[in-house]
Amino acid sequence: MARLPLSIQAIESSCCVTVPDNKKRKAYSIWMWVLTFFIYCSYHLSRKPISVVKNVLNQNCTDLPPPEPNPNNSHWCDWKPFDKDNSATLLGIVDSSFLFAYAIGMFASGFIAERMDLRIFLSVGMIFSGIFCAMFGLGKSFNIHQLWFYIVAQILCGLMQTTGWPGVVTALGNWFGKGNRGLIFGIWNSHTSLGNILGTLIAAAFVSNQWSLSFIIPGVIISSMGIITLFFMVPLPEMVGLPNPNANYEESPAVSYVGKEKEEETRNQNEAEEEKAIGFFAALKIPGVIEFSLCLFFAKLVSYTFLYWLPNYILNNTPYSAEESANLSTFFDVGGIAGGILAGVLSDKTGMSASTCIVMLIVAIPMMFIYQAFCAVSLGLNIFLLLVVGLLVNGPYALITTAVSADLGTHECLKGNAKALATVTAIIDGTGSIGAAVGPMIAGPISAAGWDYVFYMLMFSDLIALILLLRLGMHEMNNWWVERRRRRNTLLTPI
């Protein structure tokens, strides 16, 4: 059973003994919202540097004269092993090493997260994520030019990063019931875009002078957040004497943590009898899990292709420098923040998550074509189009990985079992992460034939994503129509 960290025990014994349960729940809920927000922000912050640094590694200077000897020059046109005409392919392999390790590890991560203390699970994952993120940058510091070193660093980092999503979604889901999950999770999910923005800005600040720091500093940040999590996380309301909104037992009036070990032990024994963490195949049987998982495969393929290749696309198709291209790409993530919130609000208001995703995917297809055709016209137009494309591309992705995953993980067919959330989240995000690995991997070779073909691939992927949700969307529309007719008939019925 998970135990409270000593710091929270001290707070409980000194400050929370006489605090009413409603105020106590509100305080802890807000704290968990803020903590998990910055936890996953740091995860994404540490993923972003590679997309920025590849602009100085992927120079392909085969036909250029060697640079003048200069110990202060850090614009490494000849940085091996990325100094040949196959540099884009090699960097695609490096990207895929992280993403495939992340995708494969995600399925096991959800299984583990359901069965151990989430606080320890997240802390260990964050500390080692930071170590392996910094490891890539240390390749520059120690003048390492072997491809295998960078691949191993990315694989290890990818495996450790799998602790993040099932951990934070489960921890936050334990504190918030279904209520306004779309809005709550929509705003909360802006951590992804904020992490991308901060990671880009940090990496861009050092990319032209000392790219090792583009990895080392984000690594230090996420490891530091891991230490904070270890001392201050409360993953379960029951740990501080509060009921879990997703659990299937009647909670007795909460009392303080101090002096209630026997009551907790008795209650935990009852929970163990009533709830067991469900298996992989049982989770697949939950209605909607398969459709949303496959949809996320293609939605994440599109989002992560932008994440890993957008700075490089801007560099090669506009007059902006490597640093300027990286900074400009952050407007895609700013649009993503708005997209996640908008999708969450629409889902809450309509109760139709699949239909919300379908509409945004439909509009995203022509907007990607427009961006590709007109991004070089002017800086202002580029920024505006990036905001719109980011909103439409990241909206469905954000909704599926947050509110939809939380709702499916506490689906009514589970009869109140709260031990499915991490498993369902891992299945959905793990499937999506395979798409996230495939997109950047094939974008590199395709871009060699022309960026037009990369955008055709992205638009086609969005089309498949919306097709996969059509059955669920039609079901939602049918339910909406039936409910509308029922209400109209109720109003027309004489009293």
- pLDDT bucket at 260, cuts 50 / 70 / 90: very low
Q: Does the structure show a pLDDT above 70 at 71? A: no
pLDDT of residue 174: 84
450's torsion region: left (phi>0), alpha (psi -120 to 50) or beta? left
**Local confidence band at 419 (pLDDT 50, 70, 90 cut-offs):** low
Q: Please list, in sequence order, all residues whose beta carbon lies within 8 angstroms of the beta carbon of residue 494, skipping any fewer than 6 positions away.
A: none
Give 73's pLDDT tier (boundaries 50, 70, 90). very low
- Closest Cα partner for 1 from 206, 175, 327, 236? 236
Scan for tokens 């995600």, then name that residue.
106
How does pLDDT run across 2-44, given as a tens digit for each residue?
678 888 888 888 776 677 888 888 899 999 999 999 999 999 9
Using alpha carbons, list the distances in angstroms from residue 494 to 150, 396, 487: 74, 43, 13
332 is a domain residue: yes
Residue 192: partners with Cβ closer than 8 Å, 6 or more residues away:
40, 41, 44, 333, 336, 340, 394, 398
Residue with tokens 């349960």: 21
pLDDT of residue 326 exceeding 90: no
How far is it, in rounded angstroms, from Cα 126 to Cα 228?
Answer: 10
**Distance in angstroms (rounded) separating the CA atoms of residues 192 and 211:** 23
**Mean pLDDT, all residues of the chain:** 82
Q: Does this model's pTM top 0.85? A: no
| 427 in any annotated domain | yes
Nearest residue to 166 via CA among 479, 426, 346: 426
pLDDT at 250: 42
Task: Work out the number of other CB atoms within 10 angstroms of the CB of residue 383.
Answer: 17
Dist. CA 31–CA 20, nearest whole Å: 17
Q: Which of 451, 437, 431 is nearest to 47 (CA)?
A: 437
Residue-by-residue DSSP string for 372-433: HHHTTS-HHHHHHHHHHHHHHHHHHHHHIIIIIHHHHHT-GGGTT--S-HHHHHHHHHHHHH
pLDDT at 464: 96
Mean pLDDT confidence for 257-265: 46
Q: CA angle, corner 157, sides to 441 and 45, nearest 5? A: 85
User: Across residues 75-101, what is the average pLDDT?
Assistant: 76
- Residue 10 in any domain: the answer is no
Q: Is residue 430 part of a domain?
A: yes
Max intra-chain CA distance, the chain:
92
Residue 143 has pLDDT above 50, yes or no: yes
Tell me what pLDDT residue 113 has. 80
Band (491; pLDDT cuts 50, 70, 90): low
* Residue 411 binned pLDDT confidence (cut-offs 50, 70, 90): low
Residue 270 located in a structural domain? no
Instruction: Provide the b/e sequence for 188-203 (b: ≥16 CB within 10 Å).
Output: bbbbbbbbbbbbbbbb
Burial class (CB in 10 A: 0-12, 13-18, 19+), 221: buried
In the numeric block, the tokens 């059973």 are attached to 1
pLDDT band at 75 (very low <50, low <70, confident <90, very high): very low
Please report the pLDDT score of residue 179 as a whole number.
57
pLDDT at 476 over 70: yes
Q: What is the mean pLDDT of residues 172-189?
A: 76
Q: What is the DSSP letter of 402?
A: I
Indicate the pLDDT class of residue 263, thresholds 50, 70 and 90: very low
Does residue 243 lie in a domain region? no
When pLDDT is averaged across residues 299-322 and rounded to a whole number, the result is 87
State the pLDDT confidence band at 78, using cuts at 50, 70 and 90. Answer: low
Asked whether the CA dihedral 35, 38, 44, 49 is positive or negative, the reply is negative
pLDDT of 102-120, one tens digit each? 888 887 887 788 778 899 9
Flag whether pLDDT at 70 surpasses 50.
no
Identify the pLDDT of residue 17: 64
Q: What is the pLDDT of residue 275?
A: 52
pLDDT at residue 95 greater than cutoff 90 = no
Query: What pLDDT does residue 272 have?
Result: 46
Dihedral angle, C-alpha 372, 465, 442, 321, nearest 10 °: 30
What mean pLDDT do residues 244-260 have?
A: 48
pLDDT reported for residue 342: 92
The pLDDT value given to residue 388: 96
Nearest of 341, 32, 367 to residue 193 by alpha carbon: 341
Per-residue confidence at 494, pLDDT binned at 50, 70, 90? low
Coil vs helix vs strand at 191: helix
Rounded Cα–Cα distance for residues 308 and 351 (Å): 33
Overall domain count for the chain = 1
Is residue 418 one of the residues assigned to a domain?
A: yes
Tell me: pLDDT of 194 over 80.
Answer: yes
Cα 227 to Cα 243: distance, rounded to the nearest angstrom: 27
- Enter the tokens of residue 474: 């039609």
Banded model confidence at residue 246, pLDDT cuts 50, 70, 90: low
- Identify the pLDDT of residue 176: 79
Q: Does residue 60 come out as left (phi exceeding 0), alpha (psi in the -120 to 50 range) or beta?
A: left
Query: What CATH number is associated with residue 232?
Result: 1.20.1250.20
* Each residue's pLDDT tens digit, 338-381: 998 899 889 888 888 899 999 999 999 999 999 999 988 888 99
The per-residue pLDDT for 177 is 67
Domain range enclosing 183:
26-62+78-237+278-487
* Contact between 443 and 305 (Cβ < 8 Å): yes
Which of 466, 417, 433 has its CA nearest to residue 248? 417
Residue 423 within a domain: yes
**Distance separating alpha carbons of residues 307 and 436, to the nearest angstrom:** 10
pLDDT in the model for residue 37: 95
